[in-house]
Copies of this chain bind each other. A is one copy, B any other.
Amino acid sequence: MPKLDICFSPELLPLYDLRGQVAVIVDILRASSTIVTALGEGVTHVFPVASLEECTAYGQQHGCLTAAERDGLPAPGFDLGNSPFGFLDAMRPVRGRALTISTTNGTAALRRSLAAAEVVVGSFLNLAAVANFAREQQRDVLVVCAGWKGRFCLEDTVFGGALAERLSADFDVRSSDATLAALHLWEQGKADLPAYLLQSAHVRRLNSLEASKDFEFCLRVDSYANVLPVWREDRLVMA
């Protein structure tokens, strides 16, 4: 039976051997949720980059949409911020366009996970797609939490618990203390996920920036149940 483990911070990735595994990159607030939304709304592919400079450069080089934020607000000079609602604006259709998105924590997590056999992006929005892919692959899975500046982050962890619950019949979810803890936290919070995560320091930071609409959107389980961003060469595309 394959194993599901959870890495709470990209800083801990050197302790894991990703070869042959599926890496699920998670940055619930908001990079992974926004990438899922973008592909779900018809964006053809996504280049995740760390810095604003790279974002500008990719935008020019590939003629694609650019999305960037700093300190929770849209960065000036880019087409979009990091809010998923940027991809739901009827006035600015995104279908058929490529995207480059600047996300510090998420890009770091993704780049450090490329030794894996498959790298996919997970969020509550596409939980079912991630679970189905894991079952098909029949490989060990490592959930890589982007965290916040390398530190443990509640919402990414709780996603790991939700995935572990979905996979508990097909995967060993009991042999790692990280997975056990994530399962416990998910079980505590799932009845009212927004209320549970509103305690989180990170969420409160986001909230104070009036991004609570994003917060609620990012917790809608399976609203893009068939959208699975997978890493191919240098970009994320639909599986």
Contact B181 A154 (CB under 8 A): yes
As for how many copies of this chain the complex holds, the number is: 2
Contact A176 B201 (CB under 8 A): yes
Give A199 to B177 CA distance when docked, in angstroms: 8
Residue A175 at the chain B interface, CB threshold 8 Å: yes
Contact A178 B199 (CB under 8 A): no
**Which of A4-12, A38-46, A91-99 forms contacts with chain B?**
A4-12
Contact B174 A152 (CB under 8 A): no
> Would you give the shortest CB distance from A212 to chain B, in whole angstroms?
18
Give A174 to B205 CA distance when docked, in angstroms: 13
User: Which A162-200 residues have a C-beta within 8 angstroms of B?
Assistant: 174-178, 180-181, 184-185, 188, 199-200
Contact B181 A201 (CB under 8 A): no
| Band of interface residues on A | 20 to 34
A181 surroundings in chain B (CB, below 8 A): 152, 154, 157, 181, 185
Give A35 to B154 CA distance when docked, in angstroms: 32
Residue A213 at the chain B interface, CB threshold 8 Å: no
> Would you give the shortest CB distance from A109 to chain B, in whole angstroms?
15
Having A11-B15, A175-B201, one finds 16 other A-B pairs with CB under 8 Å, namely A8-B152, A12-B151, A15-B149, A15-B150, A151-B177, A152-B177, A153-B177, A157-B177, A157-B181, A177-B201, A180-B199, A180-B200, A180-B201, A184-B184, A184-B185, A185-B185
Nearest 6 A-B pairs (CB), nearest first? A154-B177, A152-B178, A15-B150, A175-B201, A177-B200, A153-B177
| A-B pairs with beta carbons under 8 Å apart, 25 shown | A8-B152, A11-B11, A11-B12, A11-B14, A11-B15, A12-B12, A12-B150, A12-B151, A15-B150, A15-B151, A151-B177, A152-B178, A152-B181, A153-B177, A174-B199, A176-B201, A177-B200, A177-B202, A180-B201, A181-B181, A181-B185, A184-B184, A184-B185, A184-B188, A188-B188
